[in-house]
Chains A and B, each alone.
Chain A
Amino acid sequence: MQYQSQKVAMPYFIAAIGLFTGQILFGLIMGLQYVMGDFLFPAIPFNVARMVHTNLLIVWLLFGFMGAAYYMIPEETESELFSPKLALLMFWIFLVAGALTIVGYLLVPYAGLAQMTFNDLWPTMGREFLEQPLPTKLGIVVVALAFLFNISMTILKGRKTSIALVLLMGLWGLAVFFLFSFYNPSNLVLDKYFWWWTVHLWVEGVWELILGSLLAFVLIKVTGVDREIIEKWLYIIVAMTLITGIIGTGHHYYWIGTPEYWQWFGSVFSALEPIPFFMMTVFAFNMVNRRRREHPNKAATLWALGTGVMAFLGAGVWGFLHTLAPVNFYTHGTQITAAHGHMAFYGAYVMVVLTIISYAMPMMRGRAANSEKAQVMEMWAFWLMTVSIVFITLFLTAAGILQVWLQRVSETPLGFMATQDQVTLFYWLREISGVIFLIGLIVYIASFFVEGETKEAA
């Protein structure tokens, strides 16, 4: 660690891992509710578990992105963070606001929560992933602005690298597109239309820029390949991401009441969305093959390579699977979507945050890499979590294919719930994979506490 202020990333990473654990626990609860409908009812109904599962994911990834930015930016700009104190203050505000929101979800019925938090003054609640009460949404904006101010000021006074600028563009984009969560027109078509400007343009737009720059940063560090080469790759990946991803929003506009041309635009452009992800895979492997040094942190390199592969499979391949309008006509809103969602979020965003944590945490603890023993354990965690997410994806895909067939294609279609009964086996298998994922996560957390011989950071 070259700059003292980088250390402010540590609480962000710790909180991220803590919330990640919460996300997985609620995933398991919900997974069980798929097969045992009244499990934990009425304490934690399915809709609440789902909301907590998805909201925790978003919040911990945001913690991860912010921690990553606080760690990377001083090193990239070659100057201390503008205000480490502000960063720390925002950490606590964000953590407390996030925790209160989750407690609110769990203790108060959702409609009551809406009433308590002035939703009638400015209705923004009740929409998937954007369920947060108004004060939380405003809090997110305040935290994001203070964070962006801190990062932007640091970049302004320091060296301006492409990695830093791409990251900054991604983070500003993240904040700007979140503003659409405050726009809630009463026309349902318009509501859905702009809802995707937050949801899609985050995960298939600006977040990919953040992903690209995090990956590029770690690859420079662990491979020692020239910055010029890495940045050229980053540019081309960013360009392809924006070209395909922005109009690719159209793949959500097939059946919501928008004009028919979206079926063509959405199909063509989103069919190309795997390209930037494939480039990332080639990029990661190419850079590691051409490495000029043997970095002692093997685990971080493994995470970086894993991100390349799993992001391509989850976001690229599983996305393409159901993105063409004629296919999506049958698969829309089935377990195929859930399969894609799980592998894409894990492969792209979970893994890239774990990559930067894997690289930065030892540095912040004063060593170039963790001990051999700790790294072996971390790599076990990598394989346990990655293999189990592959199985979760495969089982959900199987459930989805069966669901499409029984419910939408067959000569004698079944109703929704009757179909669910037919695919129970796959839900059980998914739940077992989920338990193995949790074991992987526990091993991962344990790896931070393994002692052993380490080399001091240069």
Chain B
Amino acid sequence: MTQHNTQQAQRQAAMAVLAHAEAGEIAARLRTIPLPGHQDLRAPENGLVMLRGRVGGDGAPFNLGEATVSRAAVRLAGGEVGFGYTLGRDGEKARLIALCDALVQSRDFAAAVERDVIAPLREQLMVRRKQAAEETAATKVDFYTMVRGEG
């Protein structure tokens, strides 16, 4: 059970990085590892997910509006099944995420895909976020309340 939870956390963490990368970036990273045989279990498909918010930010959920989502599933020759879901309509990206998800579950490939694909993409994502956070931080402001009847 614990092992199952650990693997689930790893898969989620990998997906959280991959969803932010471009298909071309994932493909380029994947080319650096010798891939096992694999096939599409479900060809990429585009659809919608209804995005939900909460009343007041923390209350009951409500439907805000939909987003386009692409999804796919891939099976490795070893039997591992990976799933790929991503915002947008890039079916190839969904397929690559599914392939990575299958590799993350594979005893033989989990380390390689983490080291050569996910870790560098995570690093890149963190750099991008840090840059944005620093630019945002420069616009932090202190408002002073003017005291009436003085000066």
The answer to whether A and B belong to the same complex is no
Binding site for B on A (CB under 8 A): none
Binding site for A on B (CB under 8 A): none
